[in-house]
Chain A
């Protein structure tokens, strides 16, 4: 079964520091990969997605992620954290040959920004 592992349920960084949120997936089939962000009391908003085009994907709000097949990883980064980045981040996977049964989500990483 497909699975997604997010390392670290909580990540704390200082404002202006590098943000790195880790995501690994299990698969021998090339997947579609996503990062979603959830602000308090809101739904999930798509940050970026990988769909087998460029391995470095740029998203909204200055975030980007790199697909590394050899490491089965899709880590999310942002060069300089802003207070407004504080939120819950979810990595999700869907296999290109899969059916309609949605995305499989990781358990989420809560990003804390220290002033």
Chain B
């Protein structure tokens, strides 16, 4: 089974600053998808950004971008111009593209605190 590791249980960033959340994963597959989800306190898990492994170009969504390093099996999330509303748990997730399973394999999450 693929494992996803988020080595930072907690991170803190000042408003308007940039923060990078780390994620590494272990797989023997060549085709897969990677996701970052955001879960605000007591609120819904929301998709932040998605990356297909066969694409070399890093995905971006407004202030959110990823640094996808396939050889290193690394998938970090960069949040630029951080806002108070970015405070949440952030989960990195892996999904096989080969129909060997339908699960999203999640990391344990990184709690992001945004300070004024």
Do A and B associate with each other? no
**A→B interface (CB under 8 Å):** none
